């Protein structure tokens, strides 16, 4: 009889806020599973769909391409998703379940978490992946701050995408103790908003690839 082997835990990595080809290729070659393109004009990491399309053309088909939207009309989200051949869309605003249900490709729905957050509201969203980010009044993500991960219900922990203040300094703790399905990283690997820092990216993936062994 062949002995059973436990399945190795493989933390997925999404690098968000991609604005240029150099950063996209750096993150892809370093080992990113997914890249995020922010189509919210108020973001410091905004990229136009036209410019994102030019980058996406040069990426591997095995890299997930995620479009990030904030309170956008579903029909516009669907149009951009088709034109850019996105693998999924991330709704990072105050979207209602009805809006999420009108998206034609896989949806990641973000929730901004503080100590008073009611996790039962996640049940209102069907057939979506949950991204849990730090709450900041008037700020839709990109804060570089984490929240109290211990309040995440244990029954959903292994299926969520964790965001907010994740860096090379705490990735080992997350990998060993939190064990989410994936992490979403942006500001901790930047030299300024929208521009990645090569050394920070390399350091992050050096630790991640070590943990993955």
- Which residues have a catalytic role annotated? 16, 133
Alpha-carbon distances of 14 from 34, 85, 97, 184, rounded to whole Å: 4, 17, 24, 5
Q: Which two three-digit tokens encode residue 57?
A: 């053309």
Question: Is 35:27 a contact under the CB 8 Å cutoff?
Answer: yes
Question: What are phi and psi for residue 184, nearest 5 degrees?
Answer: -120, 120
φ/ψ of residue 44, rounded to 5: -70, -15
Q: What is the spatial distance between Cα 140 and Cα 42, in angstroms, rounded to a whole number?
A: 9
Provide DSSP, 43-106: STTB--HHHHHHHHTTS-TTSEEEEEESS--HHHHHHHHHHHT-SEEEE-SS--HHHHHT-SS-
């Amino acid at each position: 009889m062949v002995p059973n082997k436990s399945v190795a835990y493989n933390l997925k990595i999404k690098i968000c806020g991609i604005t240029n080809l150099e950063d996209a290729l750096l993150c892809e070659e370093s080992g990113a599973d997914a890249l995020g393109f922010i189509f919210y004009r108020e973001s410091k990491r905004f990229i136009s769909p036209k410019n994102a399309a030019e980058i996406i053309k040069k990426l591997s088909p095995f890299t997930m391409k995620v479009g990030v939207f904030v309170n956008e009309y579903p029909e516009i989200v669907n149009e951009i998703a088709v034109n850019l051949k996105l693998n999924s869309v991330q709704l990072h605003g105050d979207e209602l379940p009805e809006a999420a249900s009108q998206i034609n490709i896989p949806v990641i729905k973000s929730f901004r978490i503080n100590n008073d957050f009611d996790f039962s509201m996640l049940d209102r969203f069907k057939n979506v992946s949950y991204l849990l980010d730090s709450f900041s009044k008037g700020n839709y993500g990109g804060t570089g701050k984490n929240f109290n991960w211990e309040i995440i219900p244990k029954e959903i922990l292994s299926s969520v995408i964790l965001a907010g203040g994740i860096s090379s300094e705490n990735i080992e703790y997350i990998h060993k103790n939190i064990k989410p399905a994936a992490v979403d990283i942006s500001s901790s690997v930047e030299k300024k908003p929208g521009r990645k820092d090569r050394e920070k990216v390399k350091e992050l993936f050096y630790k991640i690839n070590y943990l993955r062994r």
